[in-house]
Amino acid sequence: GAVVSQHPSRVICKSGTSVKIECRSLDFQATTMFWYRQFPKQSLMLMATSNEGSKATYEQGVEKDKFLINHASLTLSTLTVTSAHPEDSSFYICSASPPRYNEQFFGPGTRLTVL
């Protein structure tokens, strides 16, 4: 299967700071990557679709100015949580699908805690 990595795996930050999370496809190129958020005991919720070389597509209710997505290369997408607040504390996961695959492969996730 394809491998997707994420960094960092865990981050604790103070309220008001910005946090950048990286998602990399290690053995394939991904023109599209997806960012999800999962609160405790809830399902994965798609936040946005990251498109290489163009603007991300955000799901309804997700603030694009708060969650900045940059897909600068075919193997890297970044999610920056700007001016983080405690309610942004969550498990953030990215996924990507290699060409001709239907299934998504997930990164190991980043657990964000905002104090």
Partner 1 sequence: RKEVEQDPGPFNVPEGATVAFNCTYSNSASQSFFWYRQDCRKEPKLLMSVYSSGNEDGRFTAQLNRASQYISLLIRDSKLSDSATYLCVVNPGYQKVTFGIGTKLQVIP
- Interface residues toward partner 1, by CB under 8 A: 1, 32, 34, 42-44, 46, 49, 91, 93, 97, 102-109, 111
A 10 A CB-CB count for 65 gives: 8
- Least distance from partner 1 to the Cβ atom of residue 114, Å: 17
Cα 32–Cα 9–Cα 86 angle in degrees, nearest 5 = 95
Task: Say how many Å lie between the first and final Cα of the chain, rounded.
Answer: 37
Tokens of 43: 């399902």
Compare residues 16 and 108 and give the one whose CB is closer to partner 1: 108
CB 24 within 8 A of CB 3: no
- Least distance from partner 1 to the Cβ atom of residue 83, Å: 26
Compare residues 82 and 111 and give the one whose CB is closer to partner 1: 111
- Least distance from partner 1 to the Cβ atom of residue 93, Å: 5
